[in-house]
Chains A and B, each alone.
Chain A
Amino acid sequence: MKVLVVNNMAPFVWGGAEELAVNLQKNLIAAGHQSEVLRIPFQWEPATRIPSQMLMVRALELWNVDRVIALKFPAYLIRHPHKTLWLLHQYRQAYDLFDAGQTNLPADQMGSDLRHLIHQADNECFRESRRVFTNSEVTRGRLRKYNGFDAEVLLPPLNDPELFPGGPAKGYIFAGGRINGMKRQHLLLEALAQTPSSIRLLIAGPPDTPADGQKLVDLTARLGLGDRVQLDLRFLPRRVYADYLNGSFAVAYLPFDEDSLGYVAMEAATAGKALITTDDSGGVLGLVKHRQTGWVAEPQPTSLADVMAAVYADSAITHKLGTAARDLWLAMGITWPQTIERLLS
């Protein structure tokens, strides 16, 4: 079967969704299908430019394709008679982030009109799709709440589990992944300033914008944490990233209301590392159970500082929680062959 994976593209930005698309393609081919990834450019700033991009996606016509598996807004608006959605992202700034006051839509009638347009286009797309899967319970709940559509949750498998066998801890808490305000690495720095000086932090990953990276550099300097924090702010080779994670004491990942379990959390669990997150981190909470597989803090520095101190307080407990995180992940039985079978069912 010829299966086209359709995803967005923000030039020179690479994250979990891009990894997922590539690995979906790879595993479709491994399952005996032909597969390619169609990446459609999407620029969400300014928000008033979003409708023209939605229209252009909608105007595309596909030939020589048996199935489409579409992942994100607005790429999933593409027309095809046999389209399956594996929903990673709606345009959250028109939904839950709008309610949370974290939207880039204008605060006027135009903003309301844009929001209505996005909702209507999404609803049309969900109606016309043969199947709708989501990548987490959070995404599923959001879809049900805002659009009235139900979906089956299909958690994304890890793409390269062999890179995360774990290993001896080298004495730091690791915070990996994209660097931006939504991932809240700055909270970890503010928390670290309230912990004993023996605790160290390694933040590594590509900033979305130069300003996102500079903010962490400045904050580290302002809090006088230069000797306790290592910032490796770049797009890391997978091996370097894996070495950082495998050598950590615990892994912190604090996105605001993440849609999915999150690759960072899945990789940490695979490596048997205890996890730190916050109680508003959404899908990540599927893997992080307080004092069972890690710690769930409040999203503010004092609470996080307590948790970071707990990581160092008893290394045996930290190790035990990491092992439990790996057990929980393996028990979920999330593999690519099963995922492909569901997507093409």
Chain B
Amino acid sequence: MKLVIFSPATRTSAIGRSTSLVTNALKKSGHTVVVVRSEDTSLLNAEAHDFGVELVPWTKSKQVAQLVRNADSLVYQIGDNFAYHKGCLEWLPHAPGVVCLHDFFLGNLFSGWAQDHMVEALATLRAWYGEDAATAYFGHSATEDFIDATHGVAPLTEWICSMGYGVITHSSWSIQRVLDSCPGPVEVVALAYDAPSAEMLKITASRKDACETFNVLTVGHVNPNKRAESVIRAIGESAVLRSSTTYRLVGNIPADVSGRLASLAKNLQVKLVISGEADAVTLQKAISEAHVVCCLRWPSLEAASASAIEAMLYGKPVIVTDTGFYAELPDACVRKIRPEHEISDLQQALESLHGNESARLALGAQAAEWAAATFRADNYAARLIKVSLATQDAAPMLKATQALAGILRQWEASPSLMTSSDLTEPLRVFNHRQETARDGIAIK
């Protein structure tokens, strides 16, 4: 099969890393793949992951159009970062294909796109969420206010999924919006991820484990929903943790957030290390030095978490919030805390892991074994081919559906009218119920 995959390629993109693994697995299975880099023009020359195939910038319109014409399947890797996925948004509406959905919340992606498409953006909001949501959407001043206000009522999942002929996503927790909006097959597939230095780091970690202070790590862009503040409070409120723990943040962090967290840590006498954005080697070293990795989220926005998966692959004990993708992880492989008892649960989990090295090692080993069997590129590649074939089969029906839906949109039909059974039943093209299950294709 000839596949064209639109994806960020820069080494700072976890989605790019996952895609590179899948691309290599597809190649190994005998498929032909071209990757179209989807980043903003300012990032198109950044160092890329090793895809092992030709990389074409999305801006080379003629070349990309030629690739699209000749492809058997078009694949779009979509996450909530406009700078990384701008090219996807340029091509997806004109050349629909399979959407690999990495985040259920796409508000940041949408907001970035909306800057140059305000009329369409407002129409999109109105169509999916109503007039009130459209009016209020762009009125939030702070990022956290914006996420709080929109993630539940207007996550924009439907905006992207309605443009795809099929969707692969990586957990089931917010699947209903995908099912409601994607006209084609939907499949839940475990994200493809790896830990290239895992064996080496496990050896290093076990050698050092007994003699280090208790290192707690959080990885990734330090947004409010990653709960760094709660980790600091949990440590600060525990005498045993406060005296022996170093809490490290690795990832991009805005200056105001950095200052606020540093001040809080100082007040609570918590040793905080803010490392900022790091390259792969520094990140791997940080993971190797960590005794526990905190992957907390509230609210949860993503379909899967690369940082949680990576930490598990490296055999680290991982503490997660019992929500979204994280809730679907096996209880035996991670420690889960209840969001409504966040600090007390977190403190208890950290204290129990702090005092019990064998429990840490056992939890990490179990996580590593499960993660290595689950987050496999060869599995992902096989599923991607399966969905691509299902999408090809469904394409004539989907095109008919889109044509009729286009007429209704032209007539400004409301979402409730477009989905009413009195409309869909007689037409027999919208109305196949859809079910989804992990590793199972469901065609509407």
Query: Which residues does A use to contact B, with CB under 8 Å?
Result: 46, 48-49, 51-56, 58-59, 109-110, 113-114, 116-117, 120-121, 124
CB < 8 Å neighbour of B416 from A46, A54, A58, A110: A110
A-facing residues in B398-444 (Cβ within 8 Å): 403-404, 407-408, 410-414, 416-417, 420, 422-427
CB < 8 Å neighbour of B417 from A46, A56, A110, A121: A110
CA distance A33 to B31 in the complex (A): 60
Given known A49-B422, A121-B411, A124-B411, contact A55–B416 (CB-CB < 8 A): no
CA distance A216 to B46 in the complex (A): 84
Given known A46-B422, A48-B420, A110-B420, contact A117–B410 (CB-CB < 8 A): no
CB < 8 Å neighbour of A113 from B403, B417, B424, B427: B417
CA distance A18 to B402 in the complex (A): 34
Closest chain A CB from B256 CB (angstroms): 43
**Cβ-defined contact, A113 with B408, below 8 A:** no
Q: Name the CB-closest residue of B to A49.
A: B422
Given known A110-B416, A110-B417, A110-B420, contact A51–B408 (CB-CB < 8 A): yes
Closest chain A CB from B96 CB (angstroms): 20
Beyond A48-B423, A56-B426, 9 additional pairs, beta carbon < 8 A: A52-B423, A52-B424, A52-B426, A55-B408, A110-B416, A113-B413, A117-B412, A120-B412, A124-B411
CB < 8 Å neighbour of A58 from B407, B420, B423: B407
| Secondary structure class of chain B's binding surface, majority of residues | helix
* Closest 6 pairs (CB-CB, A-B): A48-B422, A113-B414, A52-B426, A120-B411, A113-B417, A121-B411
Q: Name the CB-closest residue of A to B415.
A: A113
Using Cβ atoms and an 8 Å threshold, which residues of chain B touch A109? 414, 416
Using Cβ atoms and an 8 Å threshold, which residues of chain A touch B427? 52, 55-56
Using Cβ atoms and an 8 Å threshold, which residues of chain B touch A54? 411
CA distance A279 to B407 in the complex (A): 40
CA distance A110 to B420 in the complex (A): 9
Given known A46-B422, A49-B422, A117-B411, contact A55–B417 (CB-CB < 8 A): no
**Cβ-defined contact, B422 with A117, below 8 A:** no
Q: Name the CB-closest residue of B to A54.
A: B411
Using Cβ atoms and an 8 Å threshold, which residues of chain B touch A116? 412, 414
Using Cβ atoms and an 8 Å threshold, which residues of chain B touch A46? 422
Q: Name the CB-closest residue of B to A122.
A: B411
**Cβ-defined contact, B412 with A55, below 8 A:** no
Closest chain B CB from A93 CB (angstroms): 16
Closest chain B CB from A293 CB (angstroms): 43
Using Cβ atoms and an 8 Å threshold, which residues of chain B touch A124? 410-411
Closest chain A CB from B104 CB (angstroms): 27
CA distance A124 to B406 in the complex (A): 13
Using Cβ atoms and an 8 Å threshold, which residues of chain B touch A114? 417
Using Cβ atoms and an 8 Å threshold, which residues of chain A touch B414? 109, 113, 116-117
**Cβ-defined contact, A55 with B407, below 8 A:** yes
CA distance A110 to B417 in the complex (A): 7
Given known A59-B404, A110-B420, contact A117–B426 (CB-CB < 8 A): no
CA distance A49 to B407 in the complex (A): 16
Q: Name the CB-closest residue of B to A123.
A: B411
Among B403, B407, B411, B427: residue with most chain A CB under 10 A = B411
CA distance A51 to B404 in the complex (A): 11
Closest chain B CB from A147 CB (angstroms): 14
Using Cβ atoms and an 8 Å threshold, which residues of chain A touch B410? 120, 124
User: Can you spell out 14 A-B residue pairs with CB atoms less than 8 angstroms apart?
Assistant: A51-B408, A51-B413, A55-B427, A56-B426, A59-B404, A109-B414, A110-B417, A113-B413, A113-B414, A113-B416, A117-B408, A117-B411, A117-B414, A124-B411
Q: Name the CB-closest residue of A to B400.
A: A59
Closest chain B CB from A128 CB (angstroms): 11
Q: Name the CB-closest residue of B to A120.
A: B411
Given known A120-B410, A124-B411, contact A49–B417 (CB-CB < 8 A): no
Among B410, B413, B416: residue with most chain A CB under 10 A = B413
Using Cβ atoms and an 8 Å threshold, which residues of chain B touch A53? 426
CA distance A54 to B420 in the complex (A): 15
Closest chain A CB from B412 CB (angstroms): 5
**Cβ-defined contact, B417 with A51, below 8 A:** yes
CA distance A59 to B429 in the complex (A): 13
Closest chain A CB from B260 CB (angstroms): 44
CA distance A120 to B416 in the complex (A): 17
Given known A117-B411, A121-B411, A124-B411, contact A52–B417 (CB-CB < 8 A): no
Q: Name the CB-closest residue of A to B426.
A: A52
CA distance A284 to B316 in the complex (A): 87
CA distance A120 to B409 in the complex (A): 10
Using Cβ atoms and an 8 Å threshold, which residues of chain B touch A117? 408, 411-414, 417
Q: Name the CB-closest residue of A to B421.
A: A48
